[in-house]
Each structure stands twice: as structure tokens, then as C-alpha cells.
Structure 1
Amino acid sequence: MSEGNAGRSALQILGDGLRLYRRHFRSLVAIMAPPLLLSLVFFLAVPSGPEPDGGEAASLWRSAPLAVLQLLDLFLFLLAPAAVVVAAATAAAGGPPGFRTSYGRAWKAGWKLLGCYLLCWLIVGLGWLFFALPGLVAAVYLAFALPSVAVEGQGPWRALRRSAGLVSGRFWPTAGRLLLYLLLFFVTGLSLNLLLAGVASLLGFPEPLLVMIWRGGDAVATASGFSAQFLQSAAVGNVVNTLVSLLLLPAFLVLLVLLYLDLRIRKEGLDQATLAAELAR
């Protein structure tokens, strides 16, 4: 973190973020892993073809555990980004980002996080529904609602107001930085997907589904369900997408946290001691 009220440039924040991510790579990836891996296991484990008829009781017996797993996965997707934000902020404050402490803080803010997500989706979604531009503006102003909840413990409405207050007066620089980082991660994600797809093909696995469709492959549904080629390609595609998401999502959240901290440094003179005290509450 910079001293006083001196902010960092977009490239400086990018460099700081990559160094922090590299230094704490295993911890950050481990924190983001549970929902992504559970989704992958769920996809690979659920049969996609017709099942033998065992009656209503047997069908309920099979579907109940899957419903529980889906709810657990949704719950983890609620907590995991907040836990990564806590870990990144802890690292920026000079502390060690721990799995249990990060998830513990996210767990305590569970209802606040849920309310924050719902309000953000509602406001941004309404903006996109009527006109694209209001949705984009709302997305920028509310970009730091998650760190406001996870780091400062703000409630849903306060987090939205807090985020908008931080962005106020620096809308265009903030929008430009977010756009730059999103484009960077889009290009990196696409490149990694193609690279891993090539590696999978060299190892004898089918092409990922999107690659196969793009190349005009036979990805069709039959009368008894999806074709074997379709299912195999979908499975490989899900594995590849999970690996790419596991690498890139924590890195993007690190940059989001550093942007949030940069705005607080510029406007409030935030220092490491103050940040550490907030995380200790």
C-alpha cells in the first residue's frame, strides 16, 4: 500500500496485484476452489442420459442428494469471492491470508453478502433491462460493494452507498481500469482455454464442446439423449473452464481489492494499520 494519499496508476496496481497473487497463489486458489470443484464434480457425476424407471420413491431418493449438493454449491459461490477478498485484503495489510480465517469472516457476513448480491443484481439488471448504459454506470459505481461488506462489515445498503461514494469523483479512471483488467482477463482466459484444449487433444481427450462446435463437429442430441461425443466434449470443456476460472477469478478479485484500497488511500489516507484493525474486528 502506498503512503499518505498518493494513489497508484493502473499499471502499478496491476503489477502489485500480480505480485501479491504470485506470492499467495496457493492460498488464494485454495480459497476459490471449493465451489468450482463441487460444480465440476456435480456436472461429471450427474447422468445426462435417461435413467431406468425405479418409481417415484427411487427418483426422489436420487434427486434429494443432488439438490442438497446444488444448494451447498450455491452457498459456497456466495462465500468464496468474499473469502478471497478478505484474503487479498489481509495480504495487502501485511498478514498471512488463511483459509479458515477468510471463510470465517465471510461466514459471519453471510446475510449481508446475500443482501448485497441481490441488490447489486437488481440495480444493474434493471439498468441493463431498460438501457445498456445505465447498467454499465451502475456496475462501475457498485463494483466495490463486495469489499465494503467483506472488509469493513458494511450492511447491504451501506455497502452500495459506500462503493458509490468511493467511485464518486473518479468514475472515469475507475471505469477505465476495470475495463482494462476485464479485457486483460478475457484475453488471458481465452488463450488459456485454447492452450488447455490443445493439450487435452494431444493427450487423446475429445475437444472441449465450444471448440468442437466452432470447428463444426458433430455435437448433436439423439433420441435417447445427447451423443457420446457431445457428452465427452462437454466434460472436457467443463474441466478446462474450471481450471481457467480457478486461476483467473482469484487474480481478478485481488485487483478489485487493490482498486478498492487505492480509492480509500486517495480519499481517506488509508494505511496498513487501519486496514489490519478493520480486518481484526
Structure 2
Amino acid sequence: MGVDKQLMDFEARLRPQINTFLAQRVPVDVDQAQLAKSMLYSITAGGKRLRPLLTLAVLETFQVQPDEASFKAASAVELLHTYSLIHDDLPAMDDDDLRRGLPTNHVKFGAGMATLAGDGLLTLAFQWLVDNSLPAATKIELVDQLSRLAGPSGMVAGQADDIYYEQHQLALAHLQKLHRHKTGDLILYAVRAGGLIANRSDCQPLLDQFAKSFGLAFQIYDDILDVTSSADQLGKPVHQDANKNTYPNLMGLDRSYQQLAKTIEAGRSALKQMQAEKNVDTTLLASFFSYFQF
């Protein structure tokens, strides 16, 4: 089947703009040459740019043309996501040598500089959320949402659970909570950011349902790929999760596939409801589920 053509066209139009924006704008805000190289190394190493694309897709769904300010705010989440990958790869965390088919940041620049590159990207993300011409109330809400969903009650909490419970098998409800924080909360932020910038609070509950389903599906899919794919296919080490809490480890591959299908259907249902109740075309957002192909 492959990725939906509507999504492919959207990515072909927006992803190069995101890549160019990140490559050009990050060095402007960095005042140390080696730090800039380390930050740029990871931010320009590739990737789907899924999170800023989700924000921009929500804007397009509401027929809001992104200007420079909203584009900058949408791109900020990619800075934060990249920081999380750099830190996740560090020797004190997963100690991975490969990310997106390239040596990880600490392999290239050393653990100290890699840590600082992550720190720089994290703080720069919040600078970009306020260093733009969006309305003040929107900027405040974006900062509030990102700090909550990426911080110690969001993504960081999920990472902490992932480490703390590595040798202990969790029940399904606790595993879902771990994944909701570790992976889902940053995806939830990206979707919420689009709704905030578009000023469509009336659609936020259904957007949240879509985002939560997509985030959970993303993690289940990633868990399955760790078992079924090769490092060459994924551009990162595989079979790393033998002692971790994952869907295949808890319920086996067959039930993991079933859970993935059920989660995708819940997300599609929320979008169908939003289309019917709010008279908006949600097919672009629905097309993001076509990522999950085997």
C-alpha cells in the first residue's frame, strides 16, 4: 500500500521548507562554534519531521496559511525532539552508536558536547516559541503546553519510567501510561500547537483524541519494528528492547498488531466525528496513519 499520496505531496511541499528553516536559523542563535556544529549535526541528520508536519497539517486542515511566525513556532518542537534523541542515545541512557544511519552525537562530538547540544536545542525551542510575532496569549499557551507535555509530567516522566521499570514487567495500563508520556505527549503537543495557532479551541477535544491515538500507534509500531526490522532498514540499532516494557514483550506480536489496528481506528473515528460536527476536511490528518505500513 505505502504512504498515502496526499501525505506524500504534503511532505514533499513542507519538509524541505522545515529542513531549510532549521539549517539556516539554528546557527543564528548559537554563540559557540563547536556547539553550533554539534547541534546542527543532529538537527540536519534527517528524519521525517513528523511533529512540525503535524502542526502544519492542523493549520492546513483549518485553511490557515502559515506565516514566518507560525512556521517558526511549528519548527520549535523539532528542536526539542532532537534534544531528546541526543540525550536518549548518551552512554548514561541507551548508549547507542547509530541514529538515522549516522554515528550518534556523542560518538561524533563526545558525551560532554552532545549533552550541551541537547541542552541548547531544548532551551532554543522555548526561545523560538516566544521570539516571533504570534499573539502574546498564543505564545504563553504554547510555552505552557510544551513545558508540561515535554517535561517531568510528560515526556521526561515517560523516559524515567522506561529506565526505572526496565527489569520489571508492567501491566498493560501502566505500559500505556509509559508510552503516552514517552512518545505520545510530544505528538499531542504538536497537534495542540496547530489548534492553538489556528485559534480553534472548539476542535481541541477531538484533535486530542486523534493525537493520543496517533501517538500510541506510533509507539506500538516502533515496538513492532524493533522486533521485525534490521538496523539498515531503520537507521538505528534494533532488538534493543529485550529487557524493556514493550507491546511485543507484554502481549506478543500478533496481539500487538491487533492493538495497533484498534488504536488507528480510534484515531480515525475522532477525525470522522470532527469532520461531521465541524465541517472541516480531515483527510490530510487521517493520511498520517498511512505511516504504519509493513
TM-score per shorter chain, which class?
Answer: 0.3 to 0.5
Structure with larger Rg: 1
TM-score (norm 1): 0.35
More helix by share: 1
TM-score (norm 2): 0.34
Higher relative contact order (CA 8 A, sep 6+): 1
